[in-house]
A and B are shown apart, each in its own frame.
Chain A
Amino acid sequence: MDHISPVLWQFLDKWLTHFSLFPPEASKIAPESDALYFFMVLVSLVGLTIVVLLVVAFSILYNKKRHPRAVQIEGSTLLEATWTIIPLGLFLIMFVWGALLYFRIYTPPANAMNIYVVGKQWMWKIEHPGGQHEINMLHVPTGQAIQLTIISQDVFHSFSIPAFRVKREAIPGRYTTVWFEATTPGTYRLFCTQYCGTNHSQMIGDVIVMTPEDFKKWLESSTSGNSLAQDGERLFASLSCNACHNAQPDARGPSLVGVYDAQLTLATGETVTADDAYLRQAILDPAQHITQGYTPIMPTYQGQISEDGVIALVEYIKNLHTDYRLQETLNTTELPPNNEKKAPAPGQQPAAQKEVKP
């Protein structure tokens, strides 16, 4: 077979070894998503077959040779109603089915483990709550609902894991969430699917699904020493947030203990839930988010903290369940404010300090 070109051989080899027609199903939602997908494929095939059959049959039966004179027909209300109502019914089924799926994919369960994702040109930065940082790589355990809180630091990106059938846009200045529960250990592709500039096609990585035991081992072996909340705590102290938010009776800022998920009444009279997005906005644009009873004295931190930094702060505030933690923070920084430039502790992550501008 020497006469066949080697390029062709390579192609045939690839065809046999590197060829798939359908992505693996590696999350709990994937089979559900595929069920709707195949229902739609079925309806499409039936619809297409009907159209093709009609056209072919009529073309044979009524071609000029066989049927030299056309019979004029105005139309038929009954037939037209049929092909209005049947497609409409099918489309409505797809709409309801799709909506149920959509609400499931975008409504994380309460017990989900939260992992933060920051997209930037051209990489994905992953922040685990235990302080593990990853780039273009996401380790997750099976059998545990994982919520991703996604934000972009620059332009639109989109976080896509085809094997899980989930995807969510990473938007600058706004948190989005998606969740999944991985079922099959293995390595899967992770893509950026929203065009984001020069190296858009290099913004890809791997999702590594592990058994819970392996995942635990991985967590232990790759910890940076600080949890994400601890990083946040350092930042909280170094930005002197605790000068006002110190839970003292005479504090100039509201206490942040237990503030996460609480209902707040703002100076405008509006009531809001202090979720991740609210906390982020309150840090970056405090003037628009004044809690009732306080004066608008907080400076903006827009441009002073990176998205990673904000995430660490949010994670810290989320975990402030008692003011014990806050007192601890106070104790470490009961020093004049100009001490914020103190030398970083060994093992401290650069993310926690590099944004601090004196």
Chain B
Amino acid sequence: MSAPTIVSLPDPSTARIPKMNFLTRENGLLSWLLTGDHKRIATLYLISITFFFFIGGALAGLIRLELLTPQSDLMAADTYNKVFSMHGLIMVFLFLVPSVPATIGNFVIPMMVGAKDLALPKINLLSWYLYILAGGMMLYTMATGGVDTGWTFTTPLSTHYLNTNVVSAGLAVFVAGFSSIFTGLNFVVTIHKMRCPGMTWFRLPLFIWSNYAASILMILGTPVLAITLVLVVLERTVHIGVFDPAYGGDPLLFQHLFWFYSHPAVYIMILPGMGVISEVISTFSRKRVFGYTAVAFSSVAIAVFAFFVWAHHMFIMGISNYAALVFSLLTMMVAVPSAIKIFNWSFTLYKGSITFETPMLYAIGFMGLFTIGGMTGVFLGSTGTDIHLTETYFVVAHFHFVMVGGMLMAFLSGIHFWWPKWTGRMYPEKISQLAALVTFIGFNLTFFPQFILGTLGMPRRYAAYPPEFQVLNVFSTAGATVLGVGYLLPILYLTWSLKYGAIAGNNPWQATGLEWQTQSPPLTENFVEIPIMDHEAYDYEWLEQQQRKEVASVG
């Protein structure tokens, strides 16, 4: 008995990858390095963020190994501090922020809106070069001794008390920030100006809505981070007094500025992931997303509220009690649109015709983990419980549930979903389903014990800890091992599939997006002729009619 599936591949005996596509159009290294094609740039991004993901992941492995025992015995405390700082910096700025938008978004957004490319192809390439520059600076930082500020650059620690590579790390993030601003700008312009005829705002796939919301956040939030980091660098090098009270600065000012970007940044990371989930859930239940408008506007609502909740990172830092009150209330508001999305996705399944291919498994995993991640965010958003739980492993577990359980699951879901479009080939289904399962189990085993550790009071960023915390830490480290296997598997079988995978054809999942109505891999121009959007998003009846027409005309 085999599980039902919607996968419909062309006859393997006759099918072949189209000779002319964006991968084969030009050859040679230069044709890649000087390309303006959004799909090639997305491919460059995919390779580079995977590289940095595995560096960040290796550092995470070191962290978990050190925490296997209460003593700081694998590495010195300073080394540990550098390892977790580099892990945070690389994962946040070089993996999570560009993961779905710059990689998957870059690949599919122009196709989804029915355009030949992004509005500003050269700026798009510039984004990637800035990213690589930032990555290079980060590697330089690491090779020349690392940085031990934590990814949060807390002043005055970072400006006055540390003698590590704060300046190069800060500038790396500064440059990475511009890469993300340009990507956001490009998406906003493209979504406004490049939609094909008939593609009204409410016919856009929800992936576009969520990336649009994230792009707004990138454009408005990232400059604040950039200027904050410049001030940190200036305070460190020429001692202008902005943040350090010893020079007459205000240390809380840094917290305000940093979190003014870094809280919206959480939504920069998660919103595009939510877009992926909307696409995948709809496709594998053969149904339009339940309450399209509510899901679309909840993305916008998240983007708007995201800018007004930053001080919930500072409830215990001596901001006025009334300020804490306002920010706590606003934080509760931002939790509501996320709840709406979860329930709308659940009800998309209702009366659908569901199959469980790999992208769907990742998406279902996302829903469970994101629900836990979101609910525990409310624990931290409520001022009273935040006092006990903040700055402990509860926070670590919370944001890993959102960022890794949420965003990384969504990213893997998206990669598995669009892989056939990207490469023209399928990956082995059974082993990829296994990888999704292993990831889910490993993830829970790694991060769930950390909620309990946090409730017990174990502080974050400790190289050594009291012995009563060891048992839970051993569970967590064991889980990380499983999780590591879950992440290595896709690398192996996806690489394998490049040469040996079955030919995917145009639309293996029978999905409705415009990107599926063209060949795989697509032409450099995406479409033979500019498509005309004459139906709503997720219109599976239209798709069936199209196919019937095709059969009739061919037959």
Partner of B384, one of A55, A97, A169, A201: A97
User: Chain A: which residue is nearest B293 at the CB level?
Assistant: A75
Query: By the criterion CB–CB under 8 Å, are B368 and A52 in contact?
Result: yes
Chain A proximity mask over B509-534: 1 for CB below 8 Å, otherwise 0 = 00000000000000000000000000
Stretch from B99-107, B185-193, B347-355, B480-488 that touches the partner: B347-355
The yes or no answer to B392 lying at the interface (CB within 8 A) is yes
**Assembly CA distance A198 to B461 (angstroms):** 10
User: Interface residue count for A (Cβ, 8 Å)?
Assistant: 89
Find out whether the CB atom of A74 lies under 8 angstroms from the CB atom of B457.
Answer: no
Report the bound CA distance from A178 to B108 in whole Å. 52
A19 contacts partner chain B, Cβ-Cβ < 8 Å? yes
Contact (Cβ within 8 A) B349 A204: no
Q: Mark interface residues in B112-147 (1 if CB within 8 Å of A CB, else 0).
A: 000000000000000000000000000000000000
Cβ-based interface call for B358 (8 A): no
Q: Is the CB of B371 within 8 A of A51?
A: yes
Flag if A62 contacts B349 (CB, 8 Å).
Answer: yes
Contact (Cβ within 8 A) B382 A97: yes
User: Does A241 have its Cβ within 8 Å of any Cβ on chain B?
Assistant: no
- Chain B residues positioned under 8 Å from A105 (CB to CB): 384, 387
B471 in contact with A11 (CB, 8 Å): yes
List which A83-107 residues lie within 8 A (CB) of chain B. Answer: 83-84, 87-88, 91-92, 94-95, 97-103, 105-107
CA distance A265 to B467 in the complex (A): 54
Beyond A70-B286, A80-B291, whether A62 also contacts B391 by CB under 8 A is no
* CB of A88, distance to nearest CB on chain B (Å): 5
Query: Taking the complex as formed, is B201 at the interface, i.e. its CB lies under 8 A from any CB of chain A?
Result: no
Q: Hey, which chain A residues are within 8 Å of B3, CB to CB?
A: 65
Determine if B346 and A64 form an interchain contact, defined as CB atoms under 8 angstroms apart: no
Given A51-B367, A174-B318, A198-B78: A94 in contact with B382 (beta carbons within 8 A): yes
How far is the CB of A120 from the nearest CB of chain B, in Å?
A: 11
Given the complex of chains A and B, what is the CA–CA distance between A37 and B332 in angstroms? 16
**Which one, A80, A95, A166, A172, contacts B382 given CB within 8 A?**
A95
Contact in complex: B321, A193 (CB < 8 Å): no
B274, chain A: closest CB distance, angstroms = 15
B382 touches A36 (CB 8 A): yes
B380 to chain A, nearest CB (A): 10
What is the CA–CA distance of A348 and B461 in the complex, to the nearest angstrom? 39
Q: Identify A160's interface contact among B335, B459, B468, CB under 8 A.
A: B459
Which one of B29-37, B156-164, B207-215, B497-505 is at the interface?
Answer: B156-164
Q: Would you call A185 an interface residue if the criterion is a C-beta within 8 Å of the partner chain's C-beta atoms?
A: no
Confirm or deny: B224 has a beta carbon within 8 angstroms of a beta carbon on chain A: no
User: Which residues of A lie under 8 Å from residue B460 when comparing CB positions?
Assistant: 193, 195
CB of A33 within 8 A of CB of B459, answer no
Instruction: Check B387 against A102 for contact (C-beta < 8 Å).
Output: yes
Whether A296 sits at the interface, judged by CB under 8 Å, is no
A48 smallest CB distance to B (angstroms): 5
Contact between A48 and B375, CB atoms less than 8 A apart: yes
Residue A251 is within 8 A (CB to CB) of chain B in the complex: no
- By the criterion CB–CB under 8 Å, are B471 and A19 in contact? yes
| Interface stretch (choices A151-159, A231-239, A326-334, A350-358) | A151-159
- How long is the Cα–Cα vector from A52 to B376 in the complex, in angstroms? 17
A195 contacts B150, C-beta separation under 8 Å: yes
CB closest chain-B residue, reference A91: B332
With CB as the reference atom, state the residue of chain A lying closest to B334.
Answer: A91
Bound CA–CA A188/B468 (angstroms)? 12
Is B378 in contact with chain A by the CB < 8 A criterion? Answer: yes
A94–B387 contact, CB under 8 A? no
A130 shortest CB reach to chain B, Å: 27
CB neighbours of A102 from chain B (8 A): 315, 321, 324-325, 328, 383-384, 386-387
A1 at the interface (CB under 8 A from B): no
Q: Quick check: B316 and A167 within 8 Å, CB to CB?
A: yes
Minimum distance in angstroms from A124 CB to a CB of chain B: 13
State the CA gap A161–B455 with chains docked (Å): 12
Docked-complex contact A99 and B325, CB < 8 angstroms: yes
Give the most central of B72, B148, B346: most A CB within 10 Å: B346
**CB-defined contacts of B391 to chain A, threshold 8 Å:** 158, 160, 167, 193-194
B254's closest neighbor in chain A, by CB?
A156
Instruction: Choose among B321, B388, B467 the residue with the greatest number of A CB atoms under 10 Å from its CB.
Output: B388
Indicate if A176 sits at the interface (CB-CB under 8 A). Answer: yes
Q: Which of B148, B285, B293, B372 neighbours the largest number of chain A CB atoms within 10 Å of its CB?
A: B285
Which of B335, B344, B367, B467 has a CB less than 8 Å from the CB of A18? Answer: B467
* Shortest Cβ distance from B288 into A: residue: A72
Contact bitstring B273-310, A, C-beta under 8 A = 1, else 0: 00000000000011110111110000000000000000
Which residues from A are CB-within-8-Å of B371? 47-48, 51
Binds B, one of A20-28, A208-216, A218-226, A309-317: A20-28
Contacts of B9 in A (CB 8 A): none
With CB as the reference atom, state the residue of chain A lying closest to B470. Answer: A14
Interface residues, chain A, with chain B CB atoms under 8 Å away: 11, 14-15, 18-23, 33, 36-37, 40, 43-44, 47-48, 51-52, 54-55, 58-59, 62-65, 67-76, 79-80, 83-84, 87-88, 91-92, 94-95, 97-103, 105-107, 121, 154-156, 158, 160, 162-163, 165-169, 171-174, 176, 189, 191-202, 204
Give 11 pairs: A residue, B residue, CB < 8 Å, sorted on A. A37-B379, A51-B343, A58-B350, A62-B350, A70-B540, A75-B291, A83-B339, A83-B343, A106-B321, A156-B157, A201-B461
When A and B form their complex, which 10 residue pairs have the shortest distance between CB atoms, in order from nearest? Answer: A162-B457, A101-B384, A98-B382, A75-B291, A173-B245, A102-B383, A58-B349, A98-B384, A193-B391, A64-B4
